[in-house]
Amino acid sequence: MASFGAAHELWPHLSPESMPAIITEFCDNVLSELRRRADNQQWTALDMRRVCHMVTPALLLRGFGMPDADGQDPRMILILQLCHS
């Protein structure tokens, strides 16, 4: 998170304002897909990826998740990895 500069100072507070927009948008996309899968009763695991070029070196955002039966409380894990050339 230090790679995001000023946002790093706010990181310990874990407020939505402290998260870079690319991360919150990616999480929203993962959760939307999980809810869509729950609505369609597709109970398979999800693995979504996006490369963030806002920082150097670039970061690979990976979202893993499983929809739940009611579609209300999907579970997601977000991993930030350095992209290696």
CB contact at 8 A, 54 and 20: yes
* Span 9-24, pLDDT tens digits: 545 555 556 677 888 8
Query: What's the pTM?
Result: 0.73
Q: Which domain holds residue 46?
A: 2-82
53 vs 42: CA distance, rounded Å: 32
As a whole number of Å, the CA-based R_g of the chain is 14
30 vs 28: CA distance, rounded Å: 6
Alpha helices in 11-78 (DSSP H): 21-39
Number of domains in the chain: 1
Chain-centroid distance, C-alpha 75: 11
* Span 26-51, pLDDT tens digits: 999 998 888 888 888 877 888 999 99
